[in-house]
Amino acid sequence: MDTHSPTSSQKSKVTLTNWVRLSNAPLLLSRASAVQWNDYVFVLASDGRALFYHSKHNIWSMLPKSPYTSANLAPALTLYKGRILTTSVNGEMSTFDSQLCQWTVVKDLNLFEGSGPRIIASDNNILYSVVDFKTQVQQEYEQIRRSDNFRQVSYKHTECTVFSYDPSSKWEKICEIGSSPLKSAAVVGGTLFVHAGQDMFKLTQPVQPEVAANPKLEINTILPSAQTTTELNFGMQALAVSHTGINAHNIPRNLPPQGQLQSATACASPTYAGSTLHAIKETLFSFGGRDKDNQPTSDVLRYNPDTDTWESAGYMRSARYNVAVAIVQDTIIDVIVLGGSFGSSEHIMTERAVESDSKTTPIRPPWNNMTSIVEKCTVN
């Protein structure tokens, strides 16, 4: 029997075991993203098609397509100050206007720096963008048979870069992660976790105070640099604290010089390739993935920050990878997992010879590994 006192993370362990199947999505969602919006789950597929899922009534609705598509990564999607946001690989940001039922460019949120896959996330009204910068390598070839010139464009991974945004500072580069390609990311309790390449990194920035004037207090009851309500709003979290008297020991002093990049800390990588990171009740989870034999798994794993390890936290009903995950929170918390893929013909399907009139051609068997399965688990 363990006689040690439980840590804070051990006290709040969440296990996801009571999974049930819901109605399938009307689309195959091999790579998708999802967020809660009011009573709906907003789902964005890699080809730009968008859906609303009414979780209480189990009803799907089709929406206008997003102006952007994604190739090798789930579409960038987040909910920021009540607005549904997505972004292109070039950094143009758009929002879905539910009243007009259309997409609109949000010019003041554009981040035209670099080009490559992106993940956007928000936490405590701070918006983050993780960009997998790529160097464009162009090679020109000549097509001899038709005497036409064509250009083949390829990209070389460089590194993932983290930006943060708020209305006062706009976009600011806060960290460079020397690993690529970008796979998944999530914000948990003010810490950004980024899965890139074979590694996972966490980034927690210090906070700095911002003075908020309060005319009801006498000027000699407080320090010149602090007020009754002090908002700590920097980097990864915004936190409000209230004091009737604040002294110098209450104010963080270990702030980095403005503009200096922060360092990300390497931590235990998710167990499975193709797993999806998501935060539930201040805990980081990974959903699904592919094992060492490239077979899909139904495992749900929970990250333990005390031991820097991944623990079993339940099993979905269906084994799959590259799923979309959303949290629907009302009086209870429901975890909804959508789509993904069952397997990959690249890894497990073998070619077979097909004879035609003139030659024998090796082809792969026609097989669609994408799924529209939707499952739900209620958090107690």
Per-residue pLDDT reduced to its tens digit, 8-54? 444 568 999 999 999 999 999 999 999 999 889 999 999 999 999 99
Locus of tokens 């397997």: 343
- For residues 378 and 18, the answer to whether their CB atoms sit within 8 Å is yes
Residue-wise pLDDT for 75-105, tens only, equals 999 999 999 999 999 999 999 998 999 999 9
pLDDT of res. 130 = 96
Q: Which residues of 337-376 are buried (b: 16+ CB within 10 A; e: fewer)?
A: bbbbbbbbeeeeeeeeeeeeeeeeeeeeeeeebebbbbbb
pLDDT of res. 55 = 84
pLDDT of res. 230 = 34
- For residues 288 and 340, the answer to whether their CB atoms sit within 8 Å is yes
pLDDT of res. 178 = 84
pLDDT of res. 169 = 81
pTM for this prediction: 0.76
Residue extent(s) of CATH 2.120.10.80 domains in the chain = 8-205+262-346+370-379
| 193, burial (CB in 10 Å: exposed 0-12, middle 13-18, buried 19+) | buried
Question: Which residues touch 104 (CB under 8 Å, ≥6 apart)?
Answer: 94, 95, 96, 97
Q: By C-alpha distance, which of 327, 294, 292 is closest to 40?
A: 327
3-state secondary structure of 134: strand
pLDDT of res. 240 = 34
pLDDT of res. 242 = 34
pLDDT of res. 380 = 74
Torsion of CA 336, 294, 315, 32, to 10 degrees: 0
Report the C-alpha gap between 40 and 192 in whole angstroms: 25
Q: By C-alpha distance, which of 241, 237, 244 is closest to 216?
A: 244
User: Topology of 8-205+262-346+370-379 in CATH?
Assistant: Neuraminidase (2.120.10)
Overall residue count recorded for the chain in this entry: 380
The stretches in the chain having pLDDT less than 50 are 1-10, 136-151, 153, 210-256, 345, 347-349, 351
Sequence-ordered alpha helix ranges (H) in the chain: 8-11, 345-348
